[in-house]
């Protein structure tokens, strides 16, 4: 079992490193790069690549034929591109307060761990995050590493959280989970406020691990362009016509 898991990990790592090339095209733009290995319950692990510039954030799995997410930081709009269906879903910002529900308590505690990993460019810290006195998530972060990319990803998560909050009342109370609500709705930046995620895992499952990071990574400028000829839909229109 151990050897099988080890081979699977190194297979993903080789795929990730091969995807670091600029998709086989001439490079003409510098971006910041983050590459994560993501594992979710009952699903095969996959690679998540994040490219960040002053104007944009792009998330994909490193392959030109797959879909991707493009976040326009200036306009604060998220575009979800589905290459298979040739569609683009536009998610615009919602201005709303997201106060904690009555009785919900949160706290973050540092953990003194002498075996923390060392990364070039910054030290790491170990934090645990509690909701209603129960452990929700744990994370190893690098406070001084890649602050620009961390800030861009935080902007993206905050916009998504506002959207999640707008639909929270549609979820039956018996299906609502306090830990998931804090992560995705009320305080989505709790971990990122501590620094760049190096390793993060939840008590209910799920894990993401940083495989690679670069302050400068060359990509084609059209990596941050939306494909032409795709059908566009706004999220509000989709919700009004399920």
Confidence class of residue 20 from pLDDT cuts 50, 70 and 90? low
Tokens representing 122 are: 């910054």
pLDDT digit string, tens, across residues 38-68: 999 888 999 999 999 999 999 999 876 679 9
pLDDT of residue 5 exceeding 70, the answer is no
pLDDT digit string, tens, across residues 139-150: 999 999 999 999
What percentage of the chain carries pLDDT values higher than 90? 65
pLDDT value at residue 3: 38
- Cβ contacts of residue 46 below 8 Å, gap of 6+? 12, 37, 38, 61
Location of structure tokens 């509690």: 130
pLDDT value at residue 238: 52
Domain boundaries, the chain: 2-34+49-95+218-240, 106-215
pLDDT value at residue 24: 47
168 alpha-carbon distance from chain centroid: 20
| pLDDT (average), residues 167-195 | 89
pLDDT value at residue 171: 81
- Cβ contacts of residue 45 below 8 Å, gap of 6+? 8, 12, 37, 38, 39
| pLDDT (average), residues 84-108 | 90
pLDDT of residue 167 exceeding 90, the answer is no
């Amino acid at each position: 079992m151990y050897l099988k898991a080890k081979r699977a990990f190194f297979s993903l790592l080789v795929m990730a490193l091969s995807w670091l090339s600029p998709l086989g095209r001439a490079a003409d733009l510098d971006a910041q790069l983050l590459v994560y290995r993501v594992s979710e319950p009952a699903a095969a692990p996959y690679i998540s690549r994040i490219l960040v510039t002053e104007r944009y954030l792009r998330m994909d799995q490193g392959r030109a034929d797959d879909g991707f997410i493009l976040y326009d930081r200036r306009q604060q709009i998220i575009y979800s591109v589905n290459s298979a269906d040739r569609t683009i879903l536009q998610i615009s910002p919602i201005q709303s307060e997201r106060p904690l529900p009555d009785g919900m308590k949160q706290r973050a505690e540092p953990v003194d761990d002498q075996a923390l990993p060392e990364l070039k460019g910054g030290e790491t810290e170990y934090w645990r995050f509690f909701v209603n006195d129960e452990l929700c998530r744990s994370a190893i972060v690098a406070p001084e590493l890649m602050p620009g990319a961390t800030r861009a990803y935080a902007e993206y998560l905050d916009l998504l959280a506002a959207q999640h909050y707008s639909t929270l009342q549609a979820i039956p109370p018996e299906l609502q989970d306090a830990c998931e609500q804090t992560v995705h709705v009320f305080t989505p930046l709790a971990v990122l406020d501590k620094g760049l995620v190096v390793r993060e895992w939840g008590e209910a499952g799920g894990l993401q691990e940083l495989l690679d990071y670069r302050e400068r990574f060359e990509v084609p400028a059209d990596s941050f362009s939306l494909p032409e000829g795709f059908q566009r839909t706004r999220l509000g229109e989709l919700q009004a016509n399920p």
